[in-house]
A and B are shown apart, each in its own frame.
Chain A
């Protein structure tokens, strides 16, 4: 039950944002960290902070990790903060999207000299910022700082007096294909995320966290918060009644209909196929994923939420299909192009590339589905967290039976090292937690599968 005087989500959020923004101009520390759960208004905060900082001193540098993240931020500045003179610092071999090129208020340049004099805010990738030298500015904001490798931070940290770090601690940690054991336990392990190294070397830095997820529906917040954000719990910004997913009624009910109806009611569904070791390429699972997407569109699903209280007919662009491997993305896309013309416009991508995106409904091919073993890659908490936290209404997971047994057969046995610790939850534990939650939402592909192999 809600206590009587508990502030509304909006009030909580305003309070948190105000605390951060008010602290910025008078900050005595050299940095400030903001942990943000999925869909908590991270971009809004970055834009507001840049706006506030640009008032006292310009230019304010904004650093993101990928070009699409930078474009996304620039778009937000152009739309919501039109009074700011925004500049986009870009590499020569990257083509900025046409809508940004055509935007009159926006300056795009490949050299800092051409931008720094007149801009209030300069946005670019960390890699591009690394080419800037011999400057010293009072403030920078680093977005998606948990996705930034700490060696990347070395390139740019010297340019700024103070830095605001904003990021989602539950997402995928940076990785390298090199053998990196020799760095383990160093407080400046170049493989750790920028924030982990920052906090290991500056233990007294203030750390704030955003308390509310505006994206995730109330049904999704408890399992995601418990499994992936044990140290920074958060609440849902919407109420049960705000979010609805409805269909036109139907006479024939296939297991697929049962799945989407269950997901519409509860926000979650696990479509369980009979146990089988298939490896990465599981034709049956891929068919199931596409079948679910097709059913959602064929039955004219209507979503209603705070932003669209009147209801919105679900379009292919509102749906994402997430997987662990590129080859699975390829299989699904190939099948979609050839055999599912109605599904054109659906986003199909890996967890790495879905980071930061938002959809109304997501369909997830479970990373451990059909596998004979559970490697560190497949157990990574961030991967499952990204896949299960992109949706506003419902998340439907497709998996082969037997994942719980697989997990039990492969307990994580990675050695533990002293030193800077990642905030990411333990993958094995998080996988079990999500699975336990999904168990209550399981729909079997066949009513009662005759035989099971474990």
Chain B
């Protein structure tokens, strides 16, 4: 009996021990999962956070704390106290800078720590967009994360998020450099007298650079921009002037020359100096060789990078890009021949599909198809066509003419506008089943302007003889040697 007296408490103890072990995990783990989750308002939680005291001072001073009133959820990225102390002196007497600084640490809605390699772009209250990726925001690491309150969340980060300039702000700040000054001048200056003001209320819309090359004000896009030193920029423009002779007018031509240089200096992706590839392709398909040794300084911006170049790296020949005219994209016909106009699909000997246009059995003598071309440099061009004559048993002829884009009053009758001829290639055979490009010859464009190209059929109404067919025309600009 005595044995039992001792055994009972021992067994009891073992049981209790077992119990304790077995009921340790699930609830505790659940609680640990939600560590940092409370129902307190975000502001109250921030007040209690020892590492946020310096930031809270700025928050109250700026008045931005009134935004965190519980009506919306926010995420606050709180720099550690030591980091704030390092920058706060510069903000003391500048209310606007203080406001921008504080707002650059707050984003609408709650964002948990993003540890993945996929970039989340956060738009902060300052309007800047910051990259949130690989457990870093804009390069700052997290020392405490996912601290949630009832109306938001905060993280403690190891660096202050000082708002950076956008590319546009940078340019406006550096308007003493000729290249930047030119781009800014486009706000008020139209390159071409034919320009239409799209919206007088937004004068930036008039800026051809912002409209056509890239809107550098946009915080959601990313850019890489190269700046030439003033002397280099001027030399580049001078070198390119022969290609942009606009109505023999020196000032306009010079402005266009500058535009033709800067349009190939902006790229729509952000590359730091280290990440720059060997070759970039500009919006107008110009290959831009990157020479890192020519970069003397790089500036990080909120929406990209500026690299300052010691010397020009883009040869003129790279800027002379071929212009293609697709046969199946005419702007108009000399007469309506809808029922005889065929958009065809063919396969070339390399197995590539292509679309072309064929106008056949249309009963019109000298039928013309018109193609509007973009602005072309004032230089000499080699012209080629690819025209497939594959369903007829005879060879036929057609020709290509180049005309001024803007009509002028005719000499016989001033009421009738005509397009002055620049060059007319002779009638050329369209041989059967020829998939190769055919060289038509060369012509010289004296002025930088748009042109009108005309594909014209034989001067007969005979079917099969007056057929027109065109896959594409290719205009190859030549380098001027003088």
Chains A and B come from one and the same complex = no
Residues in B lying within 8 Å of A, measured CB to CB: none
